[in-house]
Amino acid sequence: MTLWKGQEFSVNHIDGSGFEAQGLRAFFEYRDLGINSATKGRFGAHIIRAVPGMKSEAQWHVHDLDFQMIYITCGWVVFEYEDQGTITMRKGSCALQPPGIAHRELSHSDDLELIEIISPAEFETKPVNAPQ
C-alpha cells in the first residue's frame, strides 16, 4: 500500500447505512467518513445527524483538540459560545470552533445534519461551568 505523507487514499460513498448511535451525544447519530483511518488518527471527519424526537441536554463543555469545523448541510442548530453568545446555524452555515472554546448546543431541528472535521480524530470532551 502506498502512503502519501503518511496518508492513504480514501473514498466514502453514501449508501443509506453507516450511521451509528455510538458517539459523543445520544441525541445524534454519526457516520464516519474514513478520514481517521486514512490519516492514522491525525484527522477525523464525519456526518452527524439528529435522532428525531431527541433533544440536547444543553451542557457546557470544551473539546481538547487542535481543530474543529462544522458545516450545516440540512436543518438548523442553536449553539451558545463563550464570549460569542447564541448563534443559530442553518443549511450552508460554517463555524470554526477554536480549541478550548466553551460551548453548548441549545436546540436543533429533527432534520439537522452536519459535517464535522476535527484534528486529532480522537479527543477528550470535558464538562465546564457556564462562562462568566
| CATH code for the domain defined by 37-127 | 2.60.120.10
pLDDT of residue 24: 60
In the β-sheet with 113-119, what is the strand arrangement from edge to edge?
19-20, 28-32, 44-50, 113-119, 67-74, 94-96
Amino acid making up residue 46: H
Q: pLDDT band at residue 8, thresholds of 50, 70 and 90?
A: confident
pLDDT of residue 128: 95
